[in-house]
Structure formats: C-alpha cells, structure tokens
Amino acid sequence: MLRLGAFMAAIGLAVAALPQDAAAGAVLDSIKVRGELNCGVRGDTHGFARKDDKGRFTGFEVDICRAVAAAILGNADKVKFFPLEAARRFPLLQNGQVDLLVSGTTYTMGRALTAGLDFVAVYYYDSQAFMVPRKLGKKSVKDLSGNTVCVQSATTTAENAEEYFRLNKMTYSPVSFDRLDDMRMAFFAGRCDALTADRSAVYAARASYASNPRDFLVLPESPSREPLGLIIKQGDTAFREIVRWSLFAMVEAEENGIRSANVDEMLKSESPRIRRLLGATPGMGKALSVDDKWAYNIIKQVGNYGEVYDRNIGSGSNLRIPRSLNALATQGGMQYAPPMR
C-alpha cells in the first residue's frame, strides 16, 4: 500500500516506461485545447440519454460524460454529445470523432481484444430482458417459442437471443433493425410478439413509448449478463486513468456520504480518505494531470454515483429501476472503488 508521495512517484515511473504515443496523452491534450469532451451516447433512451424539451441532453450516461468533463475541464457542461446507433459506435471512436463512449455497450472478451478499443471500467451492470404485451398471456421466455422477436442488429442481445432459443430447442423469427427507434416503434405497432434488449433499454422503452406501460410485461428471465463499459480508443493512458477514476470518485463519494449538497462542508472533514478525494490534501490531481479539485468538481456539479442513478433511472425517476447489482458493495451490490491513495 503506497502512501501519496510513493503513489505519485510510481505513476511517474509507469508513465515514463510507456511508449511515447501512449504517454503523450494526445486525446487528453486535444480535449484541453478544444475545451470540450466529445462523448458518444445511446440514441434516444429514456433515463440514459435523450434531449429534454429545451434541447439539453439528460440521463444517467449523459451524467457520466459530464463527470469526465468536470474532472478534465472543471466544467461539467463542456461536453458535445453524439447520439449513436450500435453500428456507428466503434468506427467513430476509432477515427477520433468521439473521445469516449458511454453508450450502453457490453464489455465482452471479443470486444476487449478488438484492436483499438480500451474498456476502462463497468459503469452499469445490466442484463438482457424480453418484453411482451400482457394480452398475449406470456409468463416466461420459454413461452416465446414460435413467436417473432424484435432485435437490434450489431448488438450482443441479437447473438444472445439466437443462442438462448437454440440451446432451449425453441424456434423464433427475429425481426432485425439497425436503428433503436425503428425497433421500438415496430414492437409497439404490433409487428413483433416480443422485444429484446438490455434490461435498461427495455424499461426505458416501456416508459417512453408505450401508450400504457402497464399493458406490457418484462419477463423474469435474463439470458445473459451485460456489463456496460466506458470505452476509449487505445493509446492514451492519461485519458484512460481520468475516465476510470472519475467513475470511481463518484462511487467513493457515495460510500463516504459525500453529495452535491454537502461537498463544501465535507472539505472540512478530518478523514484522510475524504480529504484526498476532495483535494483538500493536494497531490492526487497532479498524478492524473488535472486540477486537485477534479473529484470535488464532479461531485459538486454532477453528484455521487447514487445521486446520478436515483434521479435518472432509480427511485427519483419514473423508471424506478432497482439498484440490484449496481448498489454499493456494502449494500450487496458490485459497485465499489479501489483505494484512492
């Protein structure tokens, strides 16, 4: 366990040992010069990423982007959002049009080994789900044999559905769509018997597109786990660490009871853990090539992980998605931050 000075020295040695292009921080430097983070998010998805009636992007994934902007630029509003369909995500990241993907993308081995992609951290532990109209009388995915299922192409959910039906010796007719909007509209227009997507997207679709959400049932089975990752282009270690620790700072803040409303009072804390996080004890920012108030800016302007979850998709929203695996580890979930020292 390194003390702060030793930690900073270790970071310096590690960066010095990296290839020149990785240590140079080309993406981070361009963000600072541009004065704006380019962030790829999902297409219109209630609770996660969508424009409000004033044309402002809001949602859980939007707020993760805003947190990274607050860490780097000191201002959570310095973000340009790119709503992306599944097939466009990776090309735009690889060609540099976006700096970061927070776009409901599942972290898989195949994708992690794909040249040019760097999965930094899991920001949301999701699972796959199927939704059906209640009038069909379906109670289980096992009841869907012989039915039509709306799926989005170029997604892991399409692959998972095919595997699930084949392994269970069931038949089905997939109806594929390139665009998420087209898939949702087709389902609610009655073109498919069921819709499958990440559970988060299924909840969002029911809340936003159903004329009466109570007319639709989300079936209980989850054919797969879908950990959603923060993704950057490989090669910029400095940017990678800022993205990673921005998420961890939000989780750490929740663990320590630090919220947007009390963060200024928490600056007076005698806890070394809290003082390091908020920059009252200097040094952590320098190690990340940002201001020592980087985490303070995230919490003050965006909130801790729990605040962001609750207002967008949890108890403070009309989605009311249970925290489940996204609860803190201290509460039975999987979210916790490595030691920030």
Q: Which residue has the tokens 């929203």?
A: 317
Residue in 5, 199, 229 with CA at minimum distance from that of residue 108: 229
| pLDDT at residue number 7 | 35
Q: How far apart are the C-alpha atoms of 316 and 182, rounded to whole Å?
A: 28
pLDDT of 150 reads 98
pLDDT of residue 115: 75
Give pLDDT, residue 2.
Answer: 35
Angstrom distance (rounded) from CA 34 to CA 163: 44
CATH superfamily of 4-125+227-331: Periplasmic binding protein-like II (3.40.190.10)
Alpha-helical segments (H) within the chain? 4-16, 20-23, 26-34, 60-73, 89-94, 109-112, 156-167, 180-188, 199-209, 237-255, 263-266, 272-278, 284-288, 294-301, 305-312
Kindly state the helix (H) or strand (E) to which residue 233 belongs, with its residue range: strand 225-233
User: What's the fold here for domain 127-226?
Assistant: D-Maltodextrin-Binding Protein; domain 2 (3.40.190)
Q: What global pTM score does this model have?
A: 0.88
For residue range 132-176, list pLDDT tens digits in order.
999 999 999 999 999 999 999 989 999 999 999 999 999 999 999
Q: Give domain limits for the chain.
A: 4-125+227-331, 127-226
Quickly list DSSP for 91-104.
HHHHTTS-SEEESS
Look up residue 121 and give its two tokens. Answer: 């951290």
Instruction: Flag residues of the chain having pLDDT under 70.
Output: 1-24
Q: Tell me, what's the pLDDT at 22?
A: 39
Give the pLDDT score at 270: 96
Is-same-fold flag (4-125+227-331; 127-226)?
yes
